[in-house]
Amino acid sequence: MEKIRVLRLIARMNVGGPAIQITGLMSNLPVEEFEQKLVSGFCDKNEIDYLEVNELKVTRTKVEGFGRSVNLFSDLKVLLEIRREIKSFNPDIIHTHTAKAGFLGRIASLLTFKRQIRVHTFHGHLLHGYFGKLKTSLVILAERLLARFTDKLVAVGSQVRDELLSVKIGSFEKFKVIGPGLDIRELPERVSSLKSFGFLENKFFVTWIGRAVPVKAPHRILDLAKECALRGLRIQFVIVGEGPLLSDLRSLAKKEELPITFLGWQSDIEKILSFSDLVLLTSENEGTPVALIQAQMAGVPVLTTDVGSASEVLKNNQSGFCLEYSVKDFADKIELLAGDLRMKTSFGAIGKAFALENFSVIRLVSDHAELYRELISQSKS
């Protein structure tokens, strides 16, 4: 039996949800049935490549210029290079991930003038929190057009799918919801992790994990730190990640003497989660936040804004809290968990069982294998 050839494209394999999902698929789809290749660009200077930092080996070609920024001349060169990669690999399925790869990858596929099955995954969307009205309208128009030439649209959550449908991107029948899937290693001892970062043990650690960019709203951590300090709570906030806003956040936190520690990017997420008492997400827009899944797999409660499909990755009021953002309401939840060990323990246990059952890498791989087989079968009928 001939293998199903899958060419996977993403602009950047920076540390985050899409990179984790792609790595899970590249590493775990059955090699006797699937042959895969990854095409990606290079990460920005303030980012870390997930494959490189974890020393993971997958078949990958890196294309210069295929990154986050938009440049007409550079992107045209990338488009032609992707077209060459498609013609060389001759895939049965082209699967694009995130916006820029979805745009360039699907156009490059059309320009080969050969029939390939096109799949695109929305790990989130750009409908709000990124651009002004004009640019957002152009993004929507482009996605509507490309959806017509895409065999299957994958959304990482029902809410993400519904928001895309609300602006007439794709059709309900063309969408398939496939939630994230990942593994987590055994956690080290809490005490040893705390000591390695120079932390004291007698505090409640609230950890924020992500890129310090406007849509993630990391400035809200400063407000929460102020409020918790005013309430006399022994809360230590920890920011894990890099990004363009980080310098200003550091300066403000230092100026106002806030209990916030900045750890930068950390490749050992298990070490971070081993000392965390609560994982916090403050975003204004999200897809399906992997950090919340990782936290629950580690038995850590979560607190998140009700954006994107965040509500789908936790059991609200049982493994964490998902609510509209306000300083008071978020601080109330932090104070509640910090003061109730029994509740914190219960939330952790419920979240762990829920995450392991619903978001394993085995399920992720199974869902994609089934989708690919179905699409191949339909193309032959």
Same domain, yes or no: 65 and 77: yes
Q: Are 7 and 379 in contact (CB under 8 A)?
A: no
Count Cα atoms within 13 angstroms, Cβ side, for 1: 9
Same domain, yes or no: 96 and 199: no
Cα(308)–Cα(302) distance, integer angstroms: 16
Q: pLDDT tens digits for 65-81?
A: 997 677 888 999 999 99
Same domain, yes or no: 324 and 346: yes
Same domain, yes or no: 197 and 343: yes
Proportion of the chain above pLDDT 70, given as a percent = 99
Same domain, yes or no: 169 and 242: no
CATH number at residue 194: 3.40.50.2000
DSSP symbols for 240-268: E---TTHHHHHHHHHHTT-SEEEEE--S-
pLDDT of residue 320: 98
Mean pLDDT is lowest, of 46-55, 187-196, 212-221, 328-337, for 46-55
Q: Are 166 and 190 in contact (CB under 8 A)?
A: no
In what helix (H) or strand (E) does residue 239 lie, and over which residues does it extend? strand 235-240
Alpha-carbon torsion, ordered 208, 213, 217, 219, to 10 deg: 80
Same domain, yes or no: 121 and 212: no
The domain total for the chain is 2
Closest CA to 220 of 298, 128, 337, 307: 307
Q: pLDDT tens digits for 139-190?
A: 999 999 999 999 999 999 999 999 999 999 999 999 999 999 999 999 999 9
Same domain, yes or no: 196 and 168: no
Same domain, yes or no: 177 and 294: no
Report in angstroms the alpha-carbon separations of 226 from 61, 191, 231, 234, 256: 46, 27, 9, 12, 9
pLDDT of residue 52: 86
Cα(180)–Cα(157) distance, integer angstroms: 9
| Helical spans, DSSP H, in the chain | 17-28, 50-53, 72-89, 99-110, 133-148, 158-166, 190-197, 219-230, 246-255, 269-275, 290-297, 327-338, 341-358, 361-380
Closest CA to 224 of 253, 254, 255: 253
Instruction: Give pTM, 2 decimals.
Output: 0.87
Provide the pLDDT confidence category of residue 130 given band limits of 50, 70 and 90. low
Long-range contacts of 171-175 (CB under 8 A, 24+ apart): 171/147, 174/147, 174/150
Cα(362)–Cα(8) distance, integer angstroms: 19
Q: pLDDT tens digits for 200-237?
A: 888 999 999 999 999 999 999 999 999 999 999 999 99
Q: Is 147 or 380 the better-scoring residue by pLDDT?
A: 147
Q: Are 282 and 334 in contact (CB under 8 A)?
A: no
Count Cα atoms within 13 angstroms, Cβ side, for 242: 13
Residues 57, 77, 146, 86, CA torsion sign? negative
pLDDT of residue 47: 82
Same domain, yes or no: 146 and 276: no
Proportion of the chain above pLDDT 90, given as a percent = 84
Same domain, yes or no: 349 and 372: no
pLDDT at 271 over 90: yes
Count Cα atoms within 13 angstroms, Cβ side, for 228: 29
What's the angle, vertex CA 210, arms to CA 189 and CA 125, rounded to 5?
Answer: 140
Same domain, yes or no: 178 and 200: no
Domain that holds residue 51: 4-182+360-380
Q: Which two tokens stand for residue 243?
A: 């990004």
pLDDT at 311 over 90: yes
Cα(265)–Cα(240) distance, integer angstroms: 6
Q: pLDDT tens digits for 280-297?
A: 999 998 888 999 999 999
Same domain, yes or no: 367 and 332: no
Residue type, 342: R
Q: Which two tokens stand for residue 248?
A: 């200003």
Label residues 81-111 b or e (16+ Cβ within 10 Å = b).
Answer: bbbebbeebebbbbbbbbbbbbbbbbbbbee
DSSP label at residue 28: H
